[in-house]
Amino acid sequence: MEWIVPLVWFLIAILLIVIEATTFNLITIWFALGAIATMFVSIIFPDQVGIQLVVFLSVSILMVITIRNYAVKKFKATTIKTNVNSLIGKKCIVTRTIEEFKYGEVKVDGNYWTAKSENNETIEENSVVEIIEVSGVKLIVRKQDEN
């Protein structure tokens, strides 16, 4: 019967890991690690529930305080820009002249977009431009120097 207490902590850890896998908030994973640490402590002290709770809470809170911030920064640093924000900084070709009071058109990754110049200058067809902003469904572009 001494194996029941470690089994309970193991099941708590599994439950917390499942919750983390479905939410990915980087909170319950640290409590799962606290439950695993407590599982090992419960093997040594199976009747000492107070010691187990202290170990569970201290390991979990210590991990949240120390490691969570680092992990959040690490995961956010590797996120990739998606959708239209990934267009910013790309170079493309003008397919229809962009004029001061008239939108033009650019081709980006095989798609045609309505475009306007950054400072209302005229940009001729076949010029290379860089996308500097997305404004609604229009791209704001800057002409590239021809060096």
pLDDT digits (tens), the chain, 147 positions: 688 999 999 999 999 999 999 988 888 999 999 999 999 999 999 999 999 999 999 999 999 999 988 888 777 655 555 567 788 999 999 999 999 889 999 999 889 999 999 888 999 999 999 999 988 889 999 998 765
- CA distance linking residue 50 with residue 21, whole number of Å: 29
Quick one: 55 and 120 in the same domain? no
What pLDDT was estimated at residue 57?
Answer: 97
The number of domains in the chain is 2
Beta bridge partners of 111: 108
Quick one: 69 and 93 in the same domain? no
E-only strand ranges, the chain:
91-96, 104-108, 111-117, 128-135, 138-143
How many Cβ atoms are within 10 Å of 95's Cβ, its own excluded? 14
Quick one: 65 and 122 in the same domain? no
Closest by CA to 111, choosing from 75, 147, 84, 140, is 84
What pLDDT was estimated at residue 1?
Answer: 64
- CA distance linking residue 97 with residue 119, whole number of Å: 15
Which structural domain range is residue 8 located in?
Answer: 4-77
Residue 28 phi/psi, 5-degree rounding, is -70, -20
Quick one: 20 and 71 in the same domain? yes
What pLDDT was estimated at residue 80?
Answer: 55
Contact 106, 144 (CB under 8 A): no
- CA distance linking residue 87 with residue 134, whole number of Å: 8
What pLDDT was estimated at residue 82?
Answer: 56
